[in-house]
Structure 1
Amino acid sequence: MKLSFKPQHLKRYREIAQLLAKFGLSEAVHASGLESILGEGNILTRKAHPEPRELAEDLERMGPTFVKLGQTLSTRADIVPLRYLDALADLQDKVGPFAYEEVERTIFEEFGQRVSQAYLTFEPKPLAAASLGQVHKATLADGRVVAVKIQRPNIKARLAEDLEVLAEVAGVLEALTEIARRYEVRRIVEDLRRSLMRELDYEEEAQNLRLLAANLRDYPRIVVPAPIDDLCTSRVLTMEFIEGRKITAASREELEAAGGAALAEELLQAYIQQICLDGFFHADPHPGNVLLTPQGKVALLDLGMVGRLAPPMRELLLRLLLAVGEGRGEEAADLAERIGQPKDSFNEGKLRRAVCDLVSVQHAGGSVQEADIGTVVLRVAQEAGDAGLRVPRELTILGKTLMNLDQIGRALAPQFDPYASIRSGATRLLLAQLKRSVSGANSFARALEVNEFIQTLPSRVNKILDRVSNNRFELKVRSIDEQRLMEGMQKVANRVTQGLVIAALIIGAAMLMNIRTEFTIFGYPGLAVLLFLMAAGGGVALTWEIWRQDRKR
């Protein structure tokens, strides 16, 4: 199986081949046939180990699809070394803004009106530009200041072409190389495709903003920009403009005036609720997306990347955080195993030793205040992957999210202890979970199940009693047939005994060969020859019995 080498994709094939070869994956390049397009200056024989920043820079040069690929890989702590995760997570789009004429064209196509009709004022120069879009500041007719996010023209077509190349390369590599199968590269490309499609749908991001704001309504110092419903489409997102600056760039005086310690506590509690109670969380809280407002509040921006967790996963993650925070290594290993999916190569002992060692090191000296909780979660994910577990990407996303929160929390309050915060909020979260489980909707659903059970119970009982009275009741139990098992064991024991007897006859005959006797056969001691003949006969009989029994099966 080889690549098709479509002419329009040759440049991408060459860039991918160079990247793989540079990072020591020459076997994959050779197996896929990519080496044929590298030219004379290929580097297949050079098994290098460049620095993480080099990988990030190479991906940035290759454009938006590969920037997003790097960000997707940064959610796979089970296959990517930790020292590469930070560099990949910090990947930035090195692209300039697109022309204002394109902005005007997009707004007209989406709203059917000119910029001057949709907005009272609109700044032509963007506040920020990225590979998928850029943001402008504007004012509505009612005087509200808004931020307008415009999708880059033709970006979907460009991404679709790159995704086609990546999917083809991944399919070939997985079919031909063991390393690609082990790392499930096709699954990585599929995760990338889904992530990009979600990020390109600004209506989904608007819905994310609404949902997060509703979930965090009990946190008065956490603000989320509200979308302007009438001015949101899949390619244009208009939302409330929030003034602020990066928390990591704020002065110590500003942070103290805002009550940094209390703000850090509220922020982490809000995220723990998102992750362990709501199952929906802002998955990209890097310093550029978390601002300190002039009113001393924290603003959460850019909900293009969010995490979603099923109820069982939420409980497991909360228990994992508590186990790590309290130094219960064995329990943390149990939870990591339950969170992941074992592969054929899974080594439970290796996982337990690694996780227990990790947790004990974090608790050396009796305190984990200096340890980053996000880093610990990422290390657990990596150890689980090394031990042969298929780790869900949600665990790595959680680790990255908490790692960013560690940085922001300590910027707000240098002595902030995230573990203490999690422990203090655990009881509240458990009570909230219990309250939700007995909510009106859940109680109604359970009542319907009970009603169905009560209605069907009499007919089911009658059917059982009818069968019993008519001697037609059957209880089918699949278990081991003890008689056949004992017969099989008896046959094995008989054959082993017969083999031992034959061995004893051969050994005895060999010993008698050195004893001179008057009774001889063919010039050899007669008794020894008889023993040899008996052993030979027994061996033939045993072989025949084995062959005959095998034929019956």
Structure 2
Amino acid sequence: MSILPENLQRYQKFLSFMLKYWNSDLLNQTASNAMEEETARSFSDYEQSPEELVEDLKQMGPTYIKLGQLLSTRPDLLPDRYLEALASLQDDLPIIPYNEVQEIVETEIGTKISKAFNTFEEEPLASASIGQVHLAELRSGKKVAVKVQRPGIRKKFLDDLNTLEEMAALAVKHTEVGKQYAFDDVLGELRRIMLQELDYLREANNLVTLGTNLKTYRKLIVPQPIPDYTTSRVLTMEYVKGKKITSVSPLRKTEEDYTPLVDELIEAYLKQIVSDGFVHADPHPGNIHLLENDQIALMDLGMVAKFSKQMQEYLLRLLLNLSKNDGEEIANILLDMSEHTEKANIKEFRRHISIMVEDSRNSTAQDMQTGKLLIQMNRSAAINGIHLPVDVNILGKILLNMDQIIAFLAPEYDLREAVRVHMTKLMQSKMRKELAPEELFSILLESKKLAEHLPERINKITERLANNDLTFHVDAIDEKRLTDGFQKVANRITLGLIIASMIIGASMLMSVPSTFSIFGYPGLAILFFLLAAVAGIYLSYTILFKDE
């Protein structure tokens, strides 16, 4: 790592921000609240106001705005006033001038806006950290939303990420906290996510995939892209008229029962997690819109999570046991999927998990416990020297956002019970899928390979057995260390016998007259006593201070 002169302004900006907030009451309270420590106090007035924090993040640039957006979805960490202020980062950003928007669109799609569209609204529908959205109408009369990427945003992101990664590397190298929470791995994952969000072609493919996976859910809509009008910097997709799900008026909530809608939303996300392995990973309220016909639209597919088949199995078991409040089994599953060293405090980790699960028993959606619980489990794992896969944190973030949405639309909704019911259905569907002809054919092929090679392998084993040439390699104890230990014991016993013999011999020599004397005693006897004393002291020292 090298800190170059041309990058000094970025380092100075970053360090100024950290110095301002590092020892602030807000950050200290946030850290305590995350683990629900006894030192956590109620939120009150802090040195930095919510508006000041928002302005500071805006001054830092688009990467930090993105981090602020992520913080705005964390009610477990920040007070409401700060959440509300940070939420404005999702839709209250400087607008890209229309002449720049026009230049980007025409360059990307290769034609004039006036030829490609009947109308193209100059005022944006929304403005975000990466781009902004304009309403337009195709020549066919179809209304579309055109998302245009901010000019130069890729370079700004990469510059800021490079700064953060360098600082994270220093933290990992020189601080225990940096090592414990693997700041460098976190920043590596952030880089991967942000680069994906900057590629609108990838987002278009994500929209198609999710739309296909959720086509059976009638109350859910995934706006589809218009391929001919989509590039890596311009994304054109179907326009759906709605508003943020948290913008629903209290009157409408009293008139409508949103429980069936919430139930379908939860089932759809569980299917994504444990069946498809392809998940909309950023379902914060700004990306979930309620339409006029009481349907839900899933927006912004820039951030998706992909779970392997093995991870899907782990998460399926984890969610089932969360729904049953089985802390012991949850700890077992987390340990099965994690990496940990011999120094890991597994006993303490199990105790923490059991306490967390028990404390969250009987919670409802308005308590927002499920996602928060998973995030706290991840923190407990880090404290106890256990490294959980990043998939657990992604699942926690998804469920945390789901908790927010459910708490707003159906406060008394029992998420744990819904998970139990829907997971049973998904497990049955998963089993039927695995028993499909193509899956059975794959199993038959593997069985055929085993049957073909089994006689040959059995023949080799029996032949070696007949020739007394069959050997087994057992990875057990360290034989060399064991024999060295026995040898050390034997040496100590032998040395002890020699010292005892010298003392006995010296005692016998004391009665034998001699012309050679030391301190008036027979000299040879005194020499044997001194040698025995030195050897005894050395043996005692090595036993007490050097033996492992």
The question of 1:536 aligning with 2:541 is answered no
1:143 is aligned, of 120, 141, 144, to 141
Deviation string 1:72-126 (CA, Å, 9 cap, x unpaired) is 7899x9xx99449995985826531112122221222122111111111111110
Could you tell me how far apart the structure 2 residues matched to 1:98 and 1:231 are? 20
Seen in structure 2, the aligned counterparts of structure 1 residues 168 and 519 have a Cα distance that, compared at 3 Å, is same
1:202: how far off? 0.8
Which gives a bigger RCO, structure 1 or 2 (Cα 8 Å, sep 6+)? 1
Query: Structure 1: which 5+ runs fail to align?
Result: 26-48, 548-553
1:482: how far off? 11
The question of 1:274 aligning with 2:272 is answered yes
Deviation string 1:114-151 (CA, Å, 9 cap, x unpaired) is 11111111111100112211100111222221111111
In structure 1, the partner of 2:377 is 380
In structure 2, the partner of 1:14 is 12
1:491 is aligned, of 487, 491, 508, to 487
In structure 2, the partner of 1:200 is 198
Q: TM-score, normalised by structure 1?
A: 0.80
Q: Secondary structure at the match of 2:283?
A: coil
Seen in structure 2, the aligned counterparts of structure 1 residues 391 and 89 have a Cα distance that, compared at 3 Å, is farther
Alpha-carbon RMSD = 4.0
Seen in structure 2, the aligned counterparts of structure 1 residues 170 and 456 have a Cα distance that, compared at 3 Å, is same
1:283: how far off? 1.6
- Identity across the alignment (%): 34
Could you tell me how far apart the structure 1 residues matched to 2:70 and 2:407 are? 26
1:450 is aligned, of 447, 452, 456, to 447
1:245 is aligned, of 243, 246, 255, to 243
1:232: how far off? 1.4
Seen in structure 2, the aligned counterparts of structure 1 residues 58 and 498 have a Cα distance that, compared at 3 Å, is farther
Query: Structure 2: which 5+ runs fail to align?
Result: 24-45, 543-548
Seen in structure 2, the aligned counterparts of structure 1 residues 136 and 507 have a Cα distance that, compared at 3 Å, is farther
Seen in structure 2, the aligned counterparts of structure 1 residues 439 and 90 have a Cα distance that, compared at 3 Å, is farther
Q: Secondary structure at the match of 1:120?
A: strand
Q: Secondary structure at the match of 1:263?
A: helix
Amino acid at match of 1:422: V
Could you tell me how far apart the structure 2 residues matched to 1:131 and 1:482 are? 58
Deviation string 1:509-546 (CA, Å, 9 cap, x unpaired) is 99x9xxx999896456779x8498268359769999xx
The question of 1:475 aligning with 2:489 is answered no
Amino acid at match of 1:5: L
Amino acid at match of 1:342: H
1:154 is aligned, of 152, 163, 166, to 152
Q: Secondary structure at the match of 1:304?
A: coil
Amino acid at match of 1:191: E
Q: Which moved more, 1:138-147 or 1:489-498?
A: 489-498
Q: Secondary structure at the match of 1:292?
A: strand
1:403 is aligned, of 375, 400, 422, to 400
Amino acid at match of 2:487: K
Contact 2:366 2:408 in 1 (8 A): no
Seen in structure 2, the aligned counterparts of structure 1 residues 202 and 297 have a Cα distance that, compared at 3 Å, is same
Contact 1:72 1:192 in 2 (8 A): no
- The aligned length equals 510
Could you tell me how far apart the structure 1 residues matched to 2:468 and 2:280 are? 59
Could you tell me how far apart the structure 2 residues matched to 1:434 and 1:195 are? 32
Could you tell me how far apart the structure 2 residues matched to 1:419 and 1:485 are? 51
1:327 is aligned, of 320, 325, 328, to 325
Q: TM-score, normalised by structure 2?
A: 0.80
Q: Which moved more, 1:49-58 or 1:206-215?
A: 49-58
Could you tell me how far apart the structure 2 residues matched to 1:127 and 1:487 are? 77
Q: Secondary structure at the match of 2:240?
A: coil
Could you tell me how far apart the structure 2 residues matched to 1:483 and 1:96 are? 70
Contact 2:503 2:528 in 1 (8 A): no
1:416: how far off? 0.8
Amino acid at match of 2:431: L
Deviation string 1:251-310 (CA, Å, 9 cap, x unpaired) is 345345553111111111111111122111112222222122111111111111112211
In structure 2, the partner of 1:34 is none
Could you tell me how far apart the structure 1 residues matched to 2:359 and 2:479 are? 54
Contact 2:371 2:395 in 1 (8 A): yes
Seen in structure 2, the aligned counterparts of structure 1 residues 212 and 12 have a Cα distance that, compared at 3 Å, is same
Q: Which moved more, 1:173-182 or 1:445-454?
A: 173-182
Seen in structure 2, the aligned counterparts of structure 1 residues 24 and 303 have a Cα distance that, compared at 3 Å, is same
